[in-house]
Amino acid sequence: MPNGSRRAGAATAGAVVLLGALAACGAGGTTQTPPSPASAPASRSAAPGDTTASAGDRTPTASGRTERPASRCRTSELSASVGRVDPGAGQRNFPVVLTNVSSRGCTLYGYPGAAFVDAAGEQLGRDPRRAPGDSATVTLAPGDSAWAGLRYASPGVSGADTAVPAALLVTPPDEREPLKVPWKAGAVPVSGNASSVFLTVLEPGTGP
C-alpha cells in the first residue's frame, strides 16, 4: 500500500477510537441531562395582570350574607299547657299548647309526643295515635305558641276502662325530654273498646 494511503487509514482509525472514547466517557460520567417537561412543577407563577388561579389555589368567596334560619325548638326553650276541654258528639277534645319561652326564634314540625302518667310516673294506657294531617313547619318567635289537638271518646259513652292521670307528659317533636303538665280533666280511657287517644299535627296558635 502506498505511504499516503497508510497515513489516511491510520488517521481514520484514530478518529474512530477517539469518538468511541468520548462516547464511553459520556455514558459513565456525571454530565446531567435537562429535566423533561413532566418533571416540571405543576403550579405556575401568575404573570403581571393574570387573575386566573390554578384549581389548587382557588378559594371560595362569600357572595353575600343571609339570615341564619331558626333551628328546631328544644324542650328547655318551651313550656307546655293543656287548654280547656271542648266536648262534642261523644268526644273530649283538648288543645295541647307549646309556647316558646326562650329569647330566640325556633321551629316545630309534625306531632308532639304525649303520655298520661300516674303519680309514680308510670304510663297509663297506650301511646296516642296520630290523626291524619299535613305537617308544616311552625316558626315561633319568643312568646309565640303552637298547639296540637288531643282527643278521645268520652268514657261514659264508649264504655272503655279508665284511670285518672296525675299528669300529661308532652314531648316536643324530635326531642327526648318531655314537659310535665298536671292533669285536671278527670278520667281518661286506658284500655278496652274505643280507648284510643289521638293527636293532631301542630299548628300556630293556642287552639281552634
Closest CA to 100 of 153, 141, 60, 132: 141
Cβ atoms of 205 and 96 within 8 Å: the answer is no
Closest CA to 196 of 158, 170, 167: 158
Closest CA to 106 of 82, 134, 137, 133: 137
Tell me how far CA of residue 9 lies from CA of 6, 12, 15, 65, 139, in angstroms: 5, 5, 10, 89, 106
Q: Hey, how many other C-beta atoms are within 10 angstroms of the C-beta on 128?
A: 22
Cβ atoms of 206 and 145 within 8 Å: the answer is yes
Q: pLDDT band at residue 9, thresholds of 50, 70 and 90? A: very low
Query: Distance (Å, rounded) from C-alpha 96 to C-alpha 78?
Result: 13
Q: Is the pTM of this model over 0.75?
A: no
Domains of the chain: 75-204 (2.60.40)
Bin 124: left if φ > 0, else alpha if -120 < ψ < 50, else beta.
Answer: beta
Lowest mean pLDDT among 52-61, 77-86, 120-129, 161-170: 52-61
Q: What is the pLDDT of residues 143-168, one digit of tens each?
A: 999 999 999 999 888 889 999 999 99
156-182 burial: b if 16+ Cβ within 10 Å, else e: eebebebeebbbbbbbbbebeebbebe
Q: What is the predicted pLDDT for the residue at 168? A: 98
Rg over alpha carbons for the chain, rounded to the nearest Å, is 43
Q: What is the pLDDT of residues 136-145, one digit of tens each?
A: 999 999 999 9
Please give the full DSSP string across 117-179, using - where no structure is assigned.
E-TTS-EESPPPEEPP----EEEE-TT-EEEEEEEEE-HHHH--EEE--SEEEEE-TT-SS-E
